[in-house]
Homo-oligomer: A and B are copies of this chain.
Amino acid sequence: MTAFHRRPVPLSKAYRLLNHGPTVLVSAAHDGKRNIMAAAWAMPLDFEPPKITVVLDKSVWTRQLVEASGTFVINVPTISQVDIVETVGSTSGLEISREKDLDKFSAYGLTTFQGEVIDVPLLEGCVAWLECRLLPEPHNQGQYDLFIGEVVAAHADERVFSEGHWHFQGHDDLRTLHHVAGGHFLVIGDEVTGDVLKRK
């Protein structure tokens, strides 16, 4: 179903997929291993070529896969996936794989599709995906856990994102999640427009 609604997003508009500050899922793969984790600390960093930045703690396995492969995907999940977000944000893919030879995707029945440009699994059911190549910055990665990526392909669910704009009305089940703490999320609401004030 999702594939049916998935459309490419021009790279010049890719920043708008993260501009409103959603919590994201970071997926990565290397040498036959793959993982996915939640990250509230992600944002656009440049327009074109589009860059994004995301914080990956030293304790997470996804970080190792990103550093080894030089690629990752930012998936933008929805309210319908809130339990998936909480689950992949509070479990260790490395522990699961060591215990049972499963990864998080198979352990929790998560369906994926392949990236268009990079070899990383993208999560079905999300509303946006940004395929990224790591721009290595050893100081930022070591000092701040801050990873910078160049977006090399972007996709979105046309039901809620088209012509460079989000339009969630009528699709409450596809609204993005914005993490507060400990399993508590806020859901994005509707649009409002600002006008430039007259100067005194």
Q: How far is the CB of A180 from chain B (nearest CB, A)?
A: 6
Contact A184 B165 (CB under 8 A): yes
A187 vs B44: C-alpha distance when bound (angstroms):
19
**Inter-subunit contact B164/A181 (CB<8 Å):** yes
Nearest first, the 4 closest Cβ-Cβ pairs linking A and B are A21-B21, A86-B194, A20-B178, A189-B189
* Min CB–CB distance A88 → chain B (angstroms): 9
A119 to chain B, nearest CB (A): 25
| CB < 8 Å neighbour of A186 from B53, B87, B166, B183 | B166
Residues of A within 8 A of B (CB): 16, 19-23, 40-46, 51, 53, 55, 79, 82-87, 90-91, 96, 102, 106-109, 139-140, 144-146, 148, 164-166, 168, 175, 177-181, 183-197, 199-200
Please tell me if the beta carbons of A188 and B191 are within 8 angstroms of each other in the complex.
no
Contacts known (A83-B194, A181-B165, A192-B185); A146 close to B20, Cβ less than 8 A: no
Extra pairs beyond A20-B21, A41-B43, A183-B193 (13, CB < 8 Å): A20-B178, A20-B186, A45-B55, A84-B197, A86-B195, A102-B199, A106-B200, A108-B199, A164-B181, A183-B194, A184-B191, A187-B190, A189-B189
